[in-house]
Amino acid sequence: MKRINAFYFIKEGLKNTFTQGFMGIASIAILLSCLVIIGIFLLTTENIDLNLQNIEEQDEIVAFVDEILTIEEAQDLKYVIDAVPHVKESIFVSNTEALHTFEDQLEGAEDIMAELESDNPLRHSFRIFVDDIEDSTAVADAVKMIPGIIKVRHNEFVTNNIISLRNVFSIAAFAFFIILLALSVFIIYNTIRLATVARRKEINIMKFVGATNWFIRWPFVIEGLIIGLVAASLAYFCSWYLYTYFVDNVFEGINIVKLLDFNVISGRLALIFYGVGIIVGVAGSAFAMRKYLRV
C-alpha cells in the first residue's frame, strides 16, 4: 500500500464510519451486543469452572494402612503411593493425628477420649490427591492393590457426577460460544452488506474509473476495523461495569460461591473482544462487498 493511498484509505474509512449515520451506529451496536453477550457468557463459564475446580480439589482418596505395620513401615508406603501414576500428592496421617482430629469433633466427651487414647483403635492413613479428577477411580484401584493398604475410601458417586457436570458444561460452553460467534458474524455481515448496497453506485463508479479491487476494498476494511475496535472497547467497558456491579451488589455476602476478580480475566476478555471485533468487522466488510467488485 503506497503512503499517499494509506492516508486516503484511513481518511475515507473514518469518514464512512461516522458519516453514514444509522448504518455505522447499527453495525457498532449489533457487534457491541454480540460481544457483551459473549463477555457475560465467558465470565459466567469462568466462574462456574472456578467453582467446579474448588469442588474437584476437595475430592480426596483415603487409604488405610494395615495395623500390623509399624509407623515407620507405614510412612515408607508414601514412596509406593507417590509412584502411582496421576497421584499429585499424598499426606501421611498417623493414628495419633487421626485421634486428635476425632477428639476435636467430640468436644465434651473427655471420658471416651481418655479410654481411646489408652487403646487407639484408629489406623494410620494417607490422604491422596490426584492430578485430574477423572483419574481418581483408577488411582483408588491401584492404591488398593498396594501391599500394606487394607482399605481405600473414595466417593466414586460424587467424583463421577463432577466429571459428568464438567464435561457437559465444557461442551455446552464451547457450542454456545461457536453459535454466538457465528450469529454475530452473520448479523454483522448483513448489516455491512446493507451499508455496502447503499454505496454500490460509488463502488461501481470507482470500478469504471480504473480502481483496483484493493483500492476499493481498503476503506471498507478500515471501516470494519474501526467498527470492530469501537465495539470491542465499548463491550470491554460494559462487561467490566456489569460484572463489578453484580459482584459488589448481587453476590455480596454469599460466601458459598467463589467469584473471580475482574482483573484476573480482563486480559483474556480484552483479547477475545478485540480479536472477535476486528476479525468480524474486517471479514464482514471484505465479504459483504465482494459481490459489487465483480463489475
Site residues (vs other proteins, CB under 8 A): 2, 4-5, 8, 201-202, 204-213, 215, 295
Q: Which is nearer to other proteins, 108 or 210 (CB)?
A: 210
Give the CA distances from residue 217 to residues 206, 223, 245, 282, 289, in Å, rounded to whole numbers and listed in that order. Answer: 11, 10, 42, 10, 8
Least distance (Å) from other proteins to the CB of residue 215?
6
**Cα separation of 261 and 269, whole Å?**
13
**Cα separation of 185 and 283, whole Å?**
9
Q: Which is nearer to other proteins, 20 or 45 (CB)?
A: 20
Least distance (Å) from other proteins to the CB of residue 293?
10
Q: Which is nearer to other proteins, 206 or 289 (CB)?
A: 206
Q: Which is nearer to other proteins, 151 or 200 (CB)?
A: 200
Q: Which is nearer to other proteins, 22 or 241 (CB)?
A: 22
**Cα separation of 240 and 190, whole Å?**
29
Residue reference for cell 457498532: 28
Least distance (Å) from other proteins to the CB of residue 192?
19
Q: What angle do CA 207, 209, 214 make, to 5 degrees?
A: 45
C-alpha closest to that of 237 among 28, 25, 20, 35: 35
Q: What is the DSSP letter of 149?
A: E
In 3-state terms, what secondary structure has residue 259?
coil
Q: Which is nearer to other proteins, 151 or 290 (CB)?
A: 290
Least distance (Å) from other proteins to the CB of residue 216?
9
Least distance (Å) from other proteins to the CB of residue 202?
5
C-alpha closest to that of 74 among 98, 57, 103: 98
**Cα separation of 13 and 123, whole Å?**
76
Give the contacts of 101 (CB within 8 A, at least 6 positions apart): none
Least distance (Å) from other proteins to the CB of residue 172?
46
